[in-house]
C-alpha cells in the first residue's frame, strides 16, 4: 500500500491532500484536540492551518509514514521526529490511528483474497500473492490481474497500492518499488541483469544497514557487484548461510513458496518512556508500567487464544544499549500475575544501574490455548504475595 498510514488519514482529512503530512510520534492525541475545537464541523472542513506542525512537536517518536509531498523534503519512515522537524518544520503531524489502519488492512487483504486466494501476510500494509493458478493470472505477464487488484482495492477503500509481478517473491518485492505510487511493474527472469543489477545492494529484502556497510567496505555497491563475486568469496566474508543466500539473491534466485498460514512465535508489549527512568529513583512509576505491560501481553494472549512458556524482558538503556533476559517455565500460561512474577525474576538478572528509556515484556514458545490440556490449579496466590516489582532491586543500582 502506498504511504499507507498517511493515506488512511487523508481519507478522513482530504483537505490535507498535497500538503506535507507525517504520521507517527505521539501518545498525544492531537487530532482529538482539534476535533473537539471544531466539534461543530465535519472533519473534512477543519481548516488545514488548525493542524499541529512538526516544528511544534515535542517527544521521542519516529515517523511511521510520510506523504509524498513530505518525502520531497527528505523526511521518511523511521526518522526521528526531531530530525524530521528540521527538514520540514511546516509538515502537519498526526498520530497513528491503529484501529483505523487495521480496519483498512483487513479490507484490502480480503479484497485481494477474493480475486487470488493464495496470499501471504507481510505485515499491516504488504502481501505476497501467488498468481500461478489464478485464471488469467499470466495475461500480459500478470499485468492484467495486477490492474484488477489495484482497481478493486481502490474501489473498496479509496487507497492506492503498487504491485510488482515477477517469477519469485524476491524480485516481486523489488519490482513493487519501481513505479510507486499507484504503479505496476512486471519483471521477467531475463530482466535481472538490466533491471536488478544496477540497483544498490540495500534494495535486496534481507540486506539491511549493517550488511550494506560491510559490502561497501568491500567495495560492493550494486547488486551486480555482488553477482560478480564467486559464492566461495561471499561465504568467506559473510558465512556459509548468508553468503550463499546473498549470491542467490543477487542472481534473482528465490524458491520460497507463498505461505498462506502461520502461527505466531511470540507476543510482546514494550514502551519507550517520555523521559529516561531510574530503577531506584523512579521505582513506583517503573513498577506501574511493568505491571501494565504484563497485563497487556496477557490480554493479547487471551484475546487471540494463545498460551506461552517463555517469559522475557527487554530493557533499553539511556545509551541505547539493549539487554534481554528470559526464562522458560514448566507450564504454559496466559496469566498476568504469572507473567509478572517470571518477568520480575528476569529483571533481577540485569544491570539496573543506568537509566532506562524502554521496558518490554515478551511471551514466547507459544501454543494454542485449546491445544494445551488444562493444568492443575496453581498454588493459591496467598502462598506467595505479589512482589513489589522494582522493589529490592535498588541494591543492584551500584553496579552501574
Partner DNA sequence: TCTGGGGTCCTAGGACCC
**Nearest approach, Cβ of residue 257 and DNA (Å):** 13
241's grid cell: 548461510
Residue 338 binds to DNA (criterion: CB under 7 A): no
Q: Which of 136, 206, 392, 400 binds DNA (CB under 7 A)?
A: 206
Cβ neighbours of 359 (radius 10 Å): 23
How far is it, in rounded angstroms, from Cα 148 to Cα 154?
A: 10
- Cα–chain-centroid distance for residue 138? 32
Residue 385 binds to DNA (criterion: CB under 7 A): no
> Please, how many CA atoms are within 13 Å of residue 47, restricted to the half-sphere of its CB?
3
SS3 207: coil
How far is it, in rounded angstroms, from Cα 400 to Cα 394?
A: 11
- Cα–chain-centroid distance for residue 181? 20
Please say if 126 is a catalytic residue: yes
Of the pair 206, 392, the CB lying nearest DNA is at 206
* Count of positions on this chain that bind DNA (CB under 7 A): 62
Q: Name the region of 170 (left: φ>0; alpha: ψ -120 to 50; beta: rest).
A: alpha
Residue 207 binds to DNA (criterion: CB under 7 A): yes
How far is it, in rounded angstroms, from Cα 85 to Cα 290?
A: 31
**Nearest approach, Cβ of residue 149 and DNA (Å):** 17
The catalytic position among 9, 36, 120, 126 is 126
Q: Which of 9, 31, 125, 254 binds DNA (CB under 7 A)?
A: 125
Residue 286 binds to DNA (criterion: CB under 7 A): no
Listed ranges 8-16, 29-37, 73-81, 389-397: which one lies at the site for DNA (CB under 7 A): 73-81
Of the pair 90, 190, the CB lying nearest DNA is at 90
Q: Which of 30, 53, 124, 369 binds DNA (CB under 7 A)?
A: 124
Give yes or no for a contact between 24 and 64, defined as CB atoms under 8 angstroms apart: yes
How far is it, in rounded angstroms, from Cα 40 to Cα 376?
A: 57
Cβ neighbours of 273 (radius 10 Å): 17
Q: Which of 7, 64, 162, 333 binds DNA (CB under 7 A)?
A: 64
Residue 300 binds to DNA (criterion: CB under 7 A): yes
**x-or-dash string of contact with DNA, 353-372, rule CB under 7 A:** ----xx-x----x-------
Residues 137-176 touching DNA, rule: CB under 7 A, are 173
For residue 248, say whether it is annotated as part of any ligand binding site: no
366's grid cell: 507459544
> Backbone phi, then psi, for 367, in 5-degree steps?
-145, 155
Q: Give the footprint of DNA on this chain (CB under 7 A).
A: 59-62, 64, 77-78, 80-83, 85-86, 122-126, 173, 204-212, 239-242, 262, 264-272, 300, 309-310, 312, 319-328, 346, 349, 357-358, 360, 365
Q: Residues within the annotated binding site for Mg(2+)? A: 125
Report, as residue numbers or ranges, the catalytic residues: 126
Amino acid at each position: 500500500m502506498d504511504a499507507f498510514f498517511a493515506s488512511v488519514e487523508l481519507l478522513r482529512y482530504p483537505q490535507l491532500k498535497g500538503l506535507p503530512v507525517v504520521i507517527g510520534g505521539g501518545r498525544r492525541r492531537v487530532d482529538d484536540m482539534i476535533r473537539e475545537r471544531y466539534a461543530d464541523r465535519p472533519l473534512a472542513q477543519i481548516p488545514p492551518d488548525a493542524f499541529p506542525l512538526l516544528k511544534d512537536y515535542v517527544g521521542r517518536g519516529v515517523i511511521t509514514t510520510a506523504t509524498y509531498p513530505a518525502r520531497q523534503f527528505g523526511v521518511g519512515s523511521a526518522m526521528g521526529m526531531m530530525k524530521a522537524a528540521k527538514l520540514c518544520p511546516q509538515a502537519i503531524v498526526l498520530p497513528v490511528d491503529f484501529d483505523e489502519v487495521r480496519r483498512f488492512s483487513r479490507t484490502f487483504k480480503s479484497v485481494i483474497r477474493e480475486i487470488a486466494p493464495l496470499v501471504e501476510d507481510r505485515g499491516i500494509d504488504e502481501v505476497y500473492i501467488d498468481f500461478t493458478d489464478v485464471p488469467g493470472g499470466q495475461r500480459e505477464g500478470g499485468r492484467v490481474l495486477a490492474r484488477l487488484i489495484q482497481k478493486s482495492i481502490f474501489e473498496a477503500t479509496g487507497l492506492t497500492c503498487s504491485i510488482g509481478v515477477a517469477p519469485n517473491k524476491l524480485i516481486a518485492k523489488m519490482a513493487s518499488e519501481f513505479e510507486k505510487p499507484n504503479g505496476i511493474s512486471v519483471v521477467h527472469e531475463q530482466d535481472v541483469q538490466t533491471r536488478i543489477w544496477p540497483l544498490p545492494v540495500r534494495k535486496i529484502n534481507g540486506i539491511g544497514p549493517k550488511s550494506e556497510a560491510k559490502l561497501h567496505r568491500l567495495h560492493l555497491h550494486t547488486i551486480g557487484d555482488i553477482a560478480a563475486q564467486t559464492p566461495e568469496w561471499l561465504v568467506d566474508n559473510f558465512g556459509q548461510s548468508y553468503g550463499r543466500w546473498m549470491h542467490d539473491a543477487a542472481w534473482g534466485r528465490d524458491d520460497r513458496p507463498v505461505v498462506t498460514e502461520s502461527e505466531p512465535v511470540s507476543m510482546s508489549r514494550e514502551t519507550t518512556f517520555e523521559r529516561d527512568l531510574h530503577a531506584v529513583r523512579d521505582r513506583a512509576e517503573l513498577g506501574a508500567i511493568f505491571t501494565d505491560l504484563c497485563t497487556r501481553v496477557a490480554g493479547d494472549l487471551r484475546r487471540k487464544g494463545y498460551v506461552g512458556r517463555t517469559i522475557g524482558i527487554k530493557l533499553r538503556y539511556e545509551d541505547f544499549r539493549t539487554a534481554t533476559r528470559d526464562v522458560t517455565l514448566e507450564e504454559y500460561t496466559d496469566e498476568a500475575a504469572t507473567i509478572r512474577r517470571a518477568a520480575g525474576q528476569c529483571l533481577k538478572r540485569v544491570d539496573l544501574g543506568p537509566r532506562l528509556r524502554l521496558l518490554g515484556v515478551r511471551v514466547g514458545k507459544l501454543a494454542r490455548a485449546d491445544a494445551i490440556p488444562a493444568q492443575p490449579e496453581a498454588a493459591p496466590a496467598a502462598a506467595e504475595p505479589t512482589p513489589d516489582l522494582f522493589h529490592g532491586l535498588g541494591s543492584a543500582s551500584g553496579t552501574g
